[in-house]
Amino acid sequence: MQLTRQAEYALKTLLELASHPFGEILSSKVISERQDISEDFLKKTIQLLSLSGLVVTQRGNQGGVRLAKPADQITIADVVTAIEGPIAINPCLAPGYSCPNRATCQISPILSRAQQALLAELSRESLADLAGK
C-alpha cells in the first residue's frame, strides 16, 4: 500500500491547522503558500476532509478552513481513511467484502494481523502529538 500525494497533502494541511489555536480559520491561500501545495489541488483535498468531518469550511471574505474537532482527537488513520477510503492491505480485508475462500485461506489471517498492526500504528499518534501541542 502506498499513500497518494493527496493523503500527504491532507496531513500537511491538518498539521498546519493544528499548529494554530483550535477554531482559528486559515484561508486555503495561506495553507497553500505555507505548505507548497497547489491551491486548486488543496481545495479538492479540503473538500474531502470536510466531507469526512475533519474540517469545517466557511465562505466569504473571512472564509477559510478550520479543524472540526481538537487536534488531539484526529489521528493519522482518520486522515488516511478520509482521503483513501477504508484501509485494506488486500481486497479480501476490505469492509463488506465476502471472500469465498476465507475458511481455507492460509494468507488471510497473516494479512489481517498486518492490517490491524498498521491501523494501530496510524491510530497511535494524533495531530496534536505531531504538531507538538
Interval 32-48: pLDDT, tens: 999 999 999 999 999 99
Residue 100 has what pLDDT? 84
Cell of 123: 491510530
- Which positions of the chain have pLDDT values less than 70? 1, 133
Residue 98 has what pLDDT? 82
CA angle, 111 then 112 then 118, to 5°: 90
**What is the DSSP-derived secondary structure letter of residue 72?**
G
Residue 28 has what pLDDT? 93
The structure's pTM equals 0.88
Rounded Cα distance, 64 and 46, in Å:
10
Residue 1 has what pLDDT? 67
Residue 91 has what pLDDT? 84
Rounded Cα distance, 37 and 2, in Å:
19
Within a 13 Å sphere around the CA of 63, how many CA atoms are in the beta-carbon half?
Answer: 8
- Crossing angle between the packed helical segments 76-84 and 39-51, to the nearest 10 degrees: 100
Domain range for 91: 5-131
Query: What is the domain-level CATH number for residue 109?
Result: 1.10.10.10
Closest CA to 45 of 24, 16, 71: 16
Residue 133 has what pLDDT? 65
Rounded Cα distance, 17 and 24, in Å:
8
Rounded Cα distance, 119 and 34, in Å:
29
Number of domains in the chain: 1
